[in-house]
Amino acid sequence: MSTTGHDVGRSPGAGGDGEPRRTEAAPIVEAGDTGNRAARPRRWGSLAGLIALGAGLGVAAFVAAATKVDDPIIAVGNRVIDSVPRWLKEFAVRSFGTNDKPVLLLSVLAVLVVAAAAAGRLAQRRLNTALLAVAVVGIAGVIATVTRTSSRGSDWLPPIVGTVVAAVVLWLLSHRPTPDATASGPAESPMAYERRRFLMQAGLIGVGAAGAGGIAKAIRSSHQRVVVAAARARTLPTPRSAAKPVPDSASVGNGVTPYVTPTSDFYRIDTALVVPTVDPTTWKMTIGGMVDKPLTINYDDLLARPMIERIVTLTCVSNEVGGDLIGNARFLGVPLADLLKEAGVQKGATQIASRSVDGWTCGFPTVIALDGRDAMVAVAMNGEVLPTKHGFPARLVVPGLYGYVSATKWLSEIRLTTLEAFNGYWIPRGWSKDGPIKTQSRIDVPNSSAGLTAGKNVIAGVAWAQHRGIAKVEVAVDGEWREAKLATEPTVDGWRQWWIDWDATAGKHVLMVRATDTTGTTQPEERTDVAPNGATGWHTVSVKVA
Ligand SMILES: Nc1nc2c(c(=O)[nH]1)N[C@H]1C(S)=C(S)[C@@H](COP(=O)(O)O)O[C@H]1N2
Ligand SMILES: [Mo]
């Protein structure tokens, strides 16, 4: 192909040969045309760009699914997540909550769509420049993919294949072939011929791209089905120490969140754009680093070990005052202390670092795992094998610590190291190295939109100070503090419900809550941001009573 009058003399793609090539003769003109043909409508360019993008993404998705690596769009999205500054991450969580991931993916796609349409239009005039632009975007995609924390061996392949496909398609749809006298009847004008050829190619490629994308999806969902079926088929081991049954007195009812959070309502926070689907038949976890006897444990080994079952309230450090990034569940797992004992923790190993199959990491002080609390490698939640989004096949659960320093899902490695030698994923991103859960409380009822009537009402909610326990909850109505009644606390590792009767008068009222833990510490009034180590402040609700 000539680099100047690019490809103007080439014959139509399929079967066209023997056409004399008229290459070097053509001057560079704006329309990239031989001069005697009408310029193509600009929207053809946009369409060509979009079809090229679709073909690239479709084929890349297929290659990714077939080689079991992330789809390039997901990979780029994950790279973005890895590098967003703390303020932007907080803004995203605040604005979109757990929808931040779809929003991010749509943004990545939107950027690509706009860029592809522009590249397509550019290709009508300057095909080589447009192809160069495609290559640059593709290379950026490859770099983004391989520099992720969760990068794996062959994950550069899909974006490269996708880029080549996009470039070839863009070239196919953008170069101007000479009308082939034998292919088009004499009645057809050159423009009509070009139009027919363009639309046919675009349509065929579009269908092919959608097909490739569809096959990719089918491969992934069949893989997922196999894994989920394998997991469901498991009978869970009976714990050597079961969780005590939750008494009715742990719940105050009246619209307060259930004491045990149904798994389907349990909050989900992680950096994974697509939940890792781990095959339990090939999964294994290691315990290594500063230990006497490194261990490798597969799923069967893990399930064969003596287990405990405990109620633990997990909390995200990003939970705003009054927020719902908190959930309480019955976890079944192998005590972390047992595993550490077997591996033999060496002197000076002050930190327990852990890593997930997708490269996420965290760490917390070793002393915490050995102080008698029920830290565990959990395999089940609320009587069922861990759901994929909560870490199947195994995750860490450490009572009293925020998830970002302790609760590794899709666990693949536990490594004993020193506090100085390793920082988990969130630490260089502006979050504290230590993550003990702060004493907090939340008003569940009434909420600001409740239609209250004067007279007998109830103010109720939850309070938590995991592993310390709640000693007191106070509620203020219009600034006047009263002590609330406490529901039973089945475990200090879980939250505790509370309520107070309120004889409401008509008008506007401001309700506040504050908790005191068993160390005697009362929640400070001062409002602080969730970063770097969890929000403080009293949850406040304004209500109107009719
Ligand atoms: N692999 C992995 N594990 C992870 C995370 C993550 O991003 N990746 N996030 C942590 C954080 S910040 C929290 S709050 C908890 C949330 O657990 P859940 O989604 O089961 O509620 O998981 C922790 N474990
Ligand atoms: Mo979190």
- H helix runs in 390-527, sequence order: 403-406
Range in 79-93, 214-228, 409-423, 481-495 with the lowest mean pLDDT: 79-93
Closest by CA to 314, choosing from 302, 303, 327, 305, is 327
> Is 215 within the bounds of a domain?
yes
> Does 512 lie in the same domain as 394?
no
> Does 198 lie in the same domain as 87?
yes
Name the residue at shortest CA distance from atom 9 of ligand 1. Answer: 270
Both tokens of 43, joined, read 């929207």
> Does 180 score more than 70 pLDDT?
no
Distance CA 332, CA 351 (A): 24
Name the residue at shortest CA distance from atom 1 of ligand 1. Answer: 409
Among the atoms of ligand 1, which is closest to the Cα of residue 390? 20
Ligand nearest to the CA of 318: 2
* pLDDT, average across residues 133-153: 89
> Does 232 score more than 80 pLDDT?
no
φ and ψ at 123, to 5 degrees? -65, -25
Residues, CB-to-ion distance under 5 Å, ligand 2: 269, 316, 403-404
Work out how many domains the chain is built from and give that number.
Answer: 3
Measured CA distances, 44 to 10, 57, 197 (Å): 19, 20, 12
At 30, is the pLDDT very low, low, confident or very high (cuts 50, 70, 90)?
very low
pTM: 0.84
Question: Of 417, 450, 475, at which residue does a domain stop?
Answer: 417
* pLDDT, average across residues 486-499: 98
> Does 394 lie in the same domain as 262?
yes
Closest by CA to 390, choosing from 429, 363, 356, 353, is 356
At 161, is the pLDDT very low, low, confident or very high (cuts 50, 70, 90)?
very high
Question: What is the CA(331)–ligand 1 centre distance, in A?
Answer: 15
> Does 193 lie in the same domain as 78?
yes
According to the model, what pLDDT value does residue 99 have?
A: 78
* pLDDT, average across residues 120-124: 94
> Does 393 lie in the same domain as 255?
yes
- Our mutation pick for probing the ligand 1 site, out of 81, 270, 316, counting the most ligand atoms within 8 A of Cβ, is 270
Both tokens of 38, joined, read 């009408």
At 286, is the pLDDT very low, low, confident or very high (cuts 50, 70, 90)?
very high
> Is 432 within the bounds of a domain?
no
CATH number for position 519: 2.60.40.650
According to the model, what pLDDT value does residue 114 have?
A: 96
Q: What sign for the dihedral angle of Cα 44, 45, 48, 50?
A: negative
CATH number for position 328: 3.90.420.10
- Our mutation pick for probing the ligand 1 site, out of 356, 409, 410, 413, counting the most ligand atoms within 8 A of Cβ, is 409
Strand-by-strand arrangement of the 411-417 sheet: 295-298, 284-289, 411-417, 351-356, 361-365
Distance CA 491, CA 245 (A): 11
Amino acid (1-letter code) at residue 324: D
Both tokens of 512, joined, read 């506040």
According to the model, what pLDDT value does residue 18 have?
A: 35
* pLDDT, average across residues 208-229: 90
According to the model, what pLDDT value does residue 100 have?
A: 82
Distance CA 139, CA 159 (A): 8
At 189, is the pLDDT very low, low, confident or very high (cuts 50, 70, 90)?
confident
Ligand nearest to the CA of 409: 1
> Is 447 within the bounds of a domain?
yes
As for ligand 1, residues whose beta carbon falls within 6 Å of it are 266-272, 314, 316, 356, 358, 360, 390, 403-404, 407-410
Question: What is the CA(313)–ligand 2 centre distance, in A?
Answer: 13
Distance CA 375, CA 243 (A): 14
According to the model, what pLDDT value does residue 31 have?
A: 41
According to the model, what pLDDT value does residue 178 have?
A: 64
> Does 282 lie in the same domain as 161?
no
Q: Other CB atoms closer than 10 Å to residue 263's CB: what's the count?
A: 17
> Does 463 score more than 70 pLDDT?
yes
* pLDDT, average across residues 12-28: 37
Closest by CA to 213, choosing from 76, 65, 74, is 65
Q: What integer best gives the mean pLDDT of the chain?
A: 89
> Is 208 within the bounds of a domain?
yes
Question: What is the CA(245)–ligand 1 centre distance, in A?
Answer: 27
> Is 19 within the bounds of a domain?
no
Three-state DSSP at 463 gives strand
> Does 311 lie in the same domain as 256?
yes
Among the atoms of ligand 1, which is closest to the Cα of residue 409? 3
According to the model, what pLDDT value does residue 37 have?
A: 61
Range in 138-142, 145-149, 308-312, 486-490 with the lowest mean pLDDT: 145-149
DSSP-derived secondary structure for 281-300: TT-EEEEEESBSS-EEEEHH
Question: Of 224, 258, 282, at which residue does a domain stop?
Answer: 224
Closest by CA to 513, choosing from 469, 447, 455, 453, is 447
Q: Which residue has the tokens 């990491």?
A: 361
According to the model, what pLDDT value does residue 317 have?
A: 96
Distance CA 127, CA 129 (A): 5
Name the residue at shortest CA distance from atom 24 of ligand 1. Answer: 408
Question: Of 417, 448, 474, at which residue does a domain stop?
Answer: 417
Which range of residues forms the domain containing residue 308?
A: 248-417
> Is 157 within the bounds of a domain?
yes
* pLDDT, average across residues 397-413: 98
Q: Other CB atoms closer than 10 Å to residue 436's CB: what's the count?
A: 18
> Does 265 lie in the same domain as 411?
yes
According to the model, what pLDDT value does residue 408 have?
A: 98
408 neighbors 397 (Cβ within 8 angstroms): no
Distance CA 355, CA 256 (A): 35
> Does 318 lie in the same domain as 449?
no
Cis bond leading into 446, ω under 30°?
A: yes
Distance CA 42, CA 239 (A): 68
> Does 433 score more than 90 pLDDT?
yes
According to the model, what pLDDT value does residue 102 have?
A: 86
* pLDDT, average across residues 231-255: 92
> Is 203 within the bounds of a domain?
yes
> Does 498 lie in the same domain as 398?
no
> Is 150 within the bounds of a domain?
yes
Question: What is the CA(166)–ligand 2 centre distance, in A?
Answer: 38
> Does 108 lie in the same domain as 168?
yes
Burial 206-234 (b: 16+ CB within 10 A, else e): bebbeebbeebeebbeeeeeebeeebeeb
Ligand nearest to the CA of 386: 1
According to the model, what pLDDT value does residue 461 have?
A: 98
> Does 219 lie in the same domain as 150?
yes
